[in-house]
């Protein structure tokens, strides 16, 4: 008795326009087209499909011809590598011609266009990424990805060492995919191959390392994954220094306790920034943006001075000086490093939620208030700075009488200062 081929669970997107029209244009007249990779994987895992990529037996030139004939826009985004982007109803679909390796040496492998779906599937990284689906919903699984998806097991296709040798970035992709889609222990042969080849990470471009690392930090199982990376010596190679996965795990729990969305830069600070020099190192190692670097450096400054003994007045002064976002960054970093402090610690929660309970006012005094006392030039600037510090120390008074007394006292002291 012949067993019917497996089918993609009904998800709606496969039959919907404009995808259905794109597939209809490509999957006919002797050529075949299928949706491949992440959209298939995600649907089988019960998640949104995300970007929808298409593979085809047709050459890039034929793909472009058919797209234009069907009324779509065709953009040769990577035509030398077989990739054309078809834009239909303002939605882009990346279409790649089947390929096979002629010579393999990492990212510079020489490939040729082919027509064999199994050969093309074996060029991919993990079994769960190598499934494809025909327009009629028939699933194709030439490398055994379905059992791995059912078990949420991230596993290299074939020999792990060979897959890694083809592209060393696959070491980091292995950990990222496990953090997003894996469940339970790592696949032993895959993990072992990553450990054996870990020194090859030194040869990767910083941009590629950055891309994979920052994506990993917001994955659901990032904390446990980073712990394994640290234990195997891989995290140190990525960061260019020692990581602190236990602080990272604490940061994740603090964000959840405050209903804060996952924040890549804040999590990176918990993982790897103790002092400002760490922020500088990560800026260089991961090619961080200047804004990311400045934020990490700001979080590194004086976070140790925050704690459950921090008074409300001191916290308000800090919030006034930093602004709400930078204040929450610094409090959460300190809280994550507070040892036994729990995620529901009431004192820390009170500190962290101060921007919700209190909005810092604007400094109400203007230079004209001191100019009325005859102050000008450097003396005026010094008086304004002193007045703001005194206003903060006084608890941000707003009533006019208190502000007038403050101005008068500072102006009087300025009159008695020697020129």
Helix or strand or coil: residue 96? strand
What is the pTM (predicted TM-score) of this model? 0.89
In order, the DSSP letters of 113-124 are: E---HHHHHTTS
Question: What number of other Cβ atoms are within 10 A of residue 202's Cβ?
Answer: 10
pLDDT tens for the chain, residues 1 to 419: 567 789 999 889 999 999 999 999 999 999 999 999 999 999 999 999 999 999 999 999 999 999 999 999 999 998 888 999 999 999 999 999 998 866 555 555 566 898 999 999 999 999 999 999 999 999 999 999 999 999 999 999 999 999 999 999 999 999 999 999 999 999 999 999 999 999 999 999 999 999 999 999 999 999 999 999 999 999 999 999 999 999 999 999 999 999 999 999 999 999 999 999 999 999 999 999 999 999 999 999 989 889 989 999 999 999 999 999 999 999 999 999 998 778 788 999 999 999 999 999 999 999 999 999 999 999 999 999 999 999 999 999 999 999 999 999 999 887 655 55
Question: How long a stretch of residues is the chain?
Answer: 419
* Cα-based distances in Å from 415 to 123, 162, 213, 338, 403: 80, 80, 58, 47, 18
What is the distance between the alpha carbons of residues 271 and 218, in angstroms, rounded to a whole number? 12
What local confidence, expressed as pLDDT, does residue 159 receive?
97
What local confidence, expressed as pLDDT, does residue 10 receive?
82
Left if phi > 0, otherwise alpha if psi is -120 to 50, otherwise beta: which for 50?
Answer: left
What local confidence, expressed as pLDDT, does residue 111 receive?
64
Planar angle of CA 219, 244, 246, nearest 5 degrees:
70
What is the distance between the alpha carbons of residues 408 and 349, in angstroms, rounded to a whole number? 39
What local confidence, expressed as pLDDT, does residue 413 receive?
85
Helix or strand or coil: residue 52? coil
Sheet order of strands, 83-88 included: 73-78, 83-88, 91-97, 53-56, 33-36, 132-133, 139-140
DSSP at 35: E
What local confidence, expressed as pLDDT, does residue 342 receive?
80
What local confidence, expressed as pLDDT, does residue 71 receive?
96
What is the distance between the alpha carbons of residues 271 and 262, in angstroms, rounded to a whole number? 14
What local confidence, expressed as pLDDT, does residue 302 receive?
83
Class of domain 1-151: alpha beta
* Cα-based distances in Å from 61 to 84, 88, 109, 244: 9, 18, 22, 50
* Cα-based distances in Å from 12 to 5, 50, 235: 20, 13, 40
Q: Taking the domains of the chain in order of start, what are their residue ranges?
A: 1-151, 299-357, 367-416
Tens of pLDDT, residue by residue over 315-327, are: 999 999 999 999 9
Produce one character per residue of 350-372: b if its CB has 16 or more CB atoms within 10 Å, e if not: ebbebbeeeebeeeebeeebbee
- Please, are residues 165 and 197 in contact by the beta-carbon 8 Å criterion? yes
- Please, are residues 74 and 91 in contact by the beta-carbon 8 Å criterion? no
Q: Please report which helix (H) or strand (E) contains residue 55, including its range.
A: strand 53-56
DSSP at 287: T
Tens of pLDDT, residue by residue over 223-258, are: 999 999 999 999 999 999 999 999 999 999 999 999
Burial class (CB in 10 A: 0-12, 13-18, 19+), 397: middle
Produce one character per residue of 18-54: b if its CB has 16 or more CB atoms within 10 Å, e if not: bbebbbebbbeeebbbbbbbbbbbbbbeeeebeebbb
What local confidence, expressed as pLDDT, does residue 391 receive?
95
What local confidence, expressed as pLDDT, does residue 305 receive?
87
Left if phi > 0, otherwise alpha if psi is -120 to 50, otherwise beta: which for 377?
Answer: left
In order, the DSSP letters of 4-18 are: PPPBPPP-STTTSTT
Instruction: Tabulate helix, strand, coil % of the chain (nearest 5).
Output: 55, 10, 35
What local confidence, expressed as pLDDT, does residue 415 receive?
65
DSSP at 32: -
């Amino acid at each position: 008795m012949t067993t019917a081929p497996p089918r993609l669970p009904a998800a709606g997107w496969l039959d919907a326009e404009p995808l259905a029209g794109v597939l209809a244009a490509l999957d006919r007249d002797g050529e075949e087209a299928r949706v491949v990779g992440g959209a298939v994987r995600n649907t089988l895992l019960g998640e949104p499909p995300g970007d929808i990529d298409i593979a085809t037996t047709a050459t890039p030139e034929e793909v472009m011809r058919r797209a234009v004939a069907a009324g779509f826009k065709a953009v040769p985004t990577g035509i030398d590598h077989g990739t054309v982007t078809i834009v239909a109803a303002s939605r882009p679909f990346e279409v790649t011609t089947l390929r096979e390796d002629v010579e393999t040496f990492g990212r510079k492998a020489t490939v040729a266009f082919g027509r064999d779906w199994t050969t093309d599937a074996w060029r991919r990284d993990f079994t769960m990424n190598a499934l494809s689906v025909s327009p009629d919903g028939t699933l194709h699984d030439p490398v055994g990805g379905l059992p791995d998806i059912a078990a949420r097991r991230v596993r290299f296709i074939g020999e792990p060492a060979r897959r890694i040798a083809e592209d060393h970035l696959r070491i980091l992709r292995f950990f990222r995919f496990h953090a997003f889609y894996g469940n339970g222990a790592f696949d032993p042969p895959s993990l072992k191959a990553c450990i054996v080849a870990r020194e090859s990470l030194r040869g990767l471009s910083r941009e590629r390392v950055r891309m994979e690392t920052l994506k990993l930090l917001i994955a659901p199982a990032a904390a446990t994954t980073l712990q394994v990376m640290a234990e195997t010596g891989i995290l140190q190679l990525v960061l260019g220094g020692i990581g602190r996965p236990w602080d990272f795990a604490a940061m994740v729990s603090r964000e959840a306790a405050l209903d804060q969305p996952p924040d890549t830069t804040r999590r990176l600070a918990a993982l790897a920034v103790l002092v400002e020099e760490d922020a500088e190192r990560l800026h260089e190692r991961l090619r961080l943006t200047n804004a990311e670097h400045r934020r990490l450096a700001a979080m590194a400054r004086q976070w140790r001075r925050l704690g459950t003994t921090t008074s409300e007045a001191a916290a308000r002064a800090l919030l006034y000086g930093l602004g709400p976002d930078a204040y929450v960054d610094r409090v959460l970093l300190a809280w994550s490093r507070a040892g036994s402090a729990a995620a529901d610690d009431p004192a820390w929660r009170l500190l962290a939620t101060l921007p919700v309970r209190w909005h810092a006012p604007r400094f109400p005094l203007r230079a004209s208030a001191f100019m009325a006392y005859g102050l000008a030039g450097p003396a005026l600037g010094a008086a304004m700075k002193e007045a703001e510090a005194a206003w903060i120390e006084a608890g941000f008074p707003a009533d006019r009488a208190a502000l007038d007394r403050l101005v008068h006292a500072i102006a009087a002291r300025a009159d008695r200062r020697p020129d």
